[in-house]
Structure 1
């Protein structure tokens, strides 16, 4: 069984950054990372990933079209079993409140603390095992 993490961000360099930080995990097959360039694509993939275990969605907040905050209630309705962590450059209390109210389990600010994110991923992997 494959374990997936879905990363949603419209910035193309985010995929490179995540693949660099988690290259050992990806090479070892601990989990797979899939990247969606927009909220609508992420919603579609979240529903399509049925033959594997989707353990976490990491989503940027500020994206063109549908924002991460707009996507959040939709993805929670379609996949209530999958935790969502929002990522933003603006970690102000109002943004945090909105994210939590709409169903996020957490909020990471940019630049991302990859040690903290790794801890979060490890916890999700343990729960999935």
Structure 2
């Protein structure tokens, strides 16, 4: 069984950062990470995720086109079983409130606390096992 974490961010360096932070897990095959540079690409991947077990969606809030806050209810309606964590450089209370109201598991601020994120990923991997 292949466990998938989908990371949605329009910044190309995010992919490198995540692959670096989780390189041991990725090499060990504990889970796979795929990267979408837009919310519309992410929605396509979510709908095509029949070949893997999607366990977590991580999405930036501020992206051109559809924002992470706009992606959130669409992703949740397609896959209500999959938690969504939003990531933002602007962790103000209004954004956090809107994210939680729209169904986000939590809102992380940049720079990302990878220790907290790893704990959340470990939880999701454990639930899928």
Question: Could you tell me how far 1:48 is from its partner in structure 2?
Answer: 0.5
Stretches of structure 1 that go unaligned for 5 or more consecutive residues are: none
CA distance in 1, matches of 2:71, 2:28: 31
CA distance in 1, matches of 2:81, 2:23: 26
Is 2:85 the counterpart of 1:90?
Answer: no
Stretches of structure 2 that go unaligned for 5 or more consecutive residues are: none
Question: Could you tell me how far 1:8 is from its partner in structure 2?
Answer: 0.1
Is 2:18 the counterpart of 1:26?
Answer: no
Superposition misfits of 4+ residues, deviation over 2 angstroms: none
CA distance in 2, matches of 1:26, 1:78: 26
* Secondary structure, counterpart of 1:5 in structure 2: strand
The equivalent of 2:61 in structure 1 is 61
* Secondary structure, counterpart of 1:43 in structure 2: helix
Q: Map of 1:1-129 to 2, 5 A cutoff?
A: 1-129=1-129
CA distance in 2, matches of 1:27, 1:6: 17
Q: Deviations over 1:54-92 (max 9, x none)?
A: 000000000000000011111111111110000000111
Normalised by the size of structure 1, how large is the TM-score? 0.99
Normalised by the size of structure 2, how large is the TM-score? 0.99
CA distance in 1, matches of 2:5, 2:14: 14
CA distance in 2, matches of 1:63, 1:73: 16
